Structure 1
């Protein structure tokens, strides 16, 4: 079971920040073999949805209000540690993120820039693809929306 918390950037504790940046780097840079600038200056504008198991961050997303990143509210940096992927934590953290967007930002339309191979996963959460696929940091992505 995940312990979910929703925090502004200023509410994140130092050790939590280190863990979540370590998780993002482990998955997006090392595991996916993608050199890109993860520290993009946008974390300060986001809310952070943090999933902990045994006091360790194993799942995470960040979300933005409409206009802060995209025209619509958005969820990004969706990540679950490799060792924890068989427990359904991706669905748990995304459901918590959708709820946080509704409660914190009072928004119901959400945009994702989703890795294409996860399209069916996001479809199961009510997201629909829009437009053509594109490369983002060398990885195939597709825009998806949930209303």
Structure 2
């Protein structure tokens, strides 16, 4: 048996595998980040959007109209210190109704909250009036608080 020595350039080159593993690790990190942090945020945003929709579908009381055409919602820590999610939906109205009547209307309004609990509104009347004669600005808020925070970083 005769051994023949091959020239180094005749041998096939073995490729390094470390770039593949680095790319795989980066991809796994991105997927983990999305699953752990983005999914809970999007889930809470969806809950907030459904609550905003229910609030915007409430019928307006007589002599009242929208001040701003859309409702505004926020998810995150709205009260207390940490580790819970609060949902706050706010709408701006213009009304000719007396303060007590508009307050009574929204305190008796029933809106389904994020997890099915019934919510009523809190009314804030602008004491300086409004830009139209006979109308005053009113802010109505629906607050649904102290829900499980999960991994939504806005709630920690």
Q: TM-score range by the shorter chain?
A: under 0.3
Q: Name the TM-score, length of structure 1 as normaliser.
A: 0.26
Q: Which structure is higher in RCO with an 8 Å CA cutoff and minimum separation 6?
A: 2
Task: Name whichever structure is richer in strand by fraction.
Answer: 1
Structure having the higher Rg: 2
